[in-house]
Chain A
């Protein structure tokens, strides 16, 4: 039983990351129909940047976090103002399914390359926000950072869900993704919504990187894989529902942990990816997409 609970705790922790990335992806896709394949790289910058500022440059922790979040927000703003503005507001450039993937794919490559050039290839961990030994209840142990990550994921997911569900602004954001012309007619600035939500979700991803990195460490290469699992989590939420994306992410994390604990620690990721692959191909309706009849 204790093994199951410990695996569950580990799975919920990693799943919280997937889930919140999925939620960030889902919200932004809902606004502008573009997948943010760089969300994991923002988390990486948050983790590595904070570690560097605090541990190497000896900035106070709070200041380091603020500087990093501001920097990530600035990067997101610059990318939107230059690339996405030209692509979507001016109407130049590639569109359709190419546009869905490849603009932020290019950003991901740049961020990875820049991180490697600036920070090198070593793993980094930001200082723990809640330092101390793992919390223990009988044989059940959970890392404090894991509790923070899970709590933050639940809270963030709820906030994003409530924003879209209950507020005028959230409805307007959804409208942007459904009809740009229809939004402009009623005075909704879809470009502004796209930019703001991109910045907020980038900063949120960076914050998660900071909170989670004491558990796993981040290298410059850490971003893409967690981005991809986040995309899958968002996919299980039909790229629209942040709450469901968080739940999907948690389920993926728990499945990963259980496969590792009860099947194979070597092949747990392989099995997980294979299962996800199978689900997407055989049941694309879980992504809100319909398959061709056999």
Chain B
């Protein structure tokens, strides 16, 4: 739920791949505790925008997290500032177990030497995804798409985020699994978690978003408030 003050400020952010401009001078903000959905057709810069915010690709412009500017192209700084991305296509570590995949979400913050101890520190995230409890020793590459998405979400939560970026969290998932993901997201929106959600399907987005930002050809329109 929104609680006032900007958690995330995106100011004049641009992303180019060679001569191709994927995102052009995008400006908007996300209030603390707010859920904002970025919607738009495929290939119009939504994923480029969030990966740039998360520091995975170089960008022009400024990104501020609770008032502090993030350095360009430095995902570790973003994570330490509390901004965590759940990427499109998940990018798990297929040969590592579910437990290790989740534990590594806390990599930037942990001071632990031993993996077991680091896991013990974050094992509480499993309470949000009880279906993963019996899969902890299974290699992530052998899980189903829906299970992998749960692991990706759990990994993100293990990083103790203040701002969650989700890029198409239901891409390629069955309807039942997508509903499960959105049920979890709704629970998150009831907390003070700030969420920026990229979603191609507007019907999904309005289930959880307080506001919607449309992107088209790398540009955003005026943000709109969704109906409750």
Contacts and interface: CB of A to CB of B under 8 A. Distances in A.
A–B contact (CB under 8 angstroms): yes
Interface of A: 166-172, 174-175, 178-179, 181-189, 240
B155 interface: yes
B112 A168 contact: yes
B87 A174 contact: no
Interface residues of B, number: 32
A178 B110 contact: no
B44 interface: no
B92 A179 contact: yes
Interface in B68-119: 75-76, 79-80, 84-85, 87, 90-96, 100, 103-108, 110, 112-116, 118
A29 to B, nearest CB: 12
Contacts of A169: 113
Contact of A171 (B76, B87, B92, B115): B115
B159 interface: yes
B54, B56, B93 — which one has the most chain A CB atoms within 10 A of its CB? B93
A181 B87 contact: yes
Given A182-B91, A185-B75, A187-B80, A171 B96 contact: yes
A169 to B, nearest CB: 8
Given A171-B104, A178-B95, A186 B114 contact: no
B76 A189 contact: yes
B96 A168 contact: no
Interface in B136-180: 155, 159
Contacts, number: 79
B155 A168 contact: no
A47 to B, nearest CB: 34
A108 B112 CA distance: 37
B95 A170 contact: no
Nearest to B155: A186
Contact of B96 (A178, A185, A187): A178
A169, A170, A181 — which one has the most chain B CB atoms within 10 A of its CB? A181
B107 A188 contact: yes
Contacts of A179: 91-94
- The secondary structure that dominates the A interface is helix
16 contacts: A168-B104, A168-B112, A168-B118, A171-B96, A171-B100, A171-B115, A178-B93, A178-B94, A182-B92, A184-B75, A184-B76, A185-B56, A186-B79, A186-B106, A186-B108, A188-B76
A175 B106 CA distance: 13
Nearest to A182: B91
A168 B91 contact: no
Contacts of B90: 182
A185 B54 contact: yes
Contact of A174 (B79, B84, B93, B155): B93
B125 to A, nearest CB: 13
A268 to B, nearest CB: 36
Contact of A181 (B76, B91, B100): B91
B54, B76, B95 — which one has the most chain A CB atoms within 10 A of its CB? B95
Contacts of A240: 95
Contacts of B100: 171, 175
A174 B92 CA distance: 12
Contacts of A167: 113-115
Given A178-B93, A185-B75, A187-B79, A172 B87 contact: no
B11 to A, nearest CB: 23
Contacts of A185: 54, 56, 75, 79, 84-85, 87, 91
Nearest to B86: A185
Given A184-B56, A186-B155, A187-B80, A166 B92 contact: no
B190 to A, nearest CB: 25
A80 B87 CA distance: 28
A61 B58 CA distance: 49
Contacts of B56: 181, 184-185
A188 B55 CA distance: 13
Contact of A186 (B96, B105, B115): B105
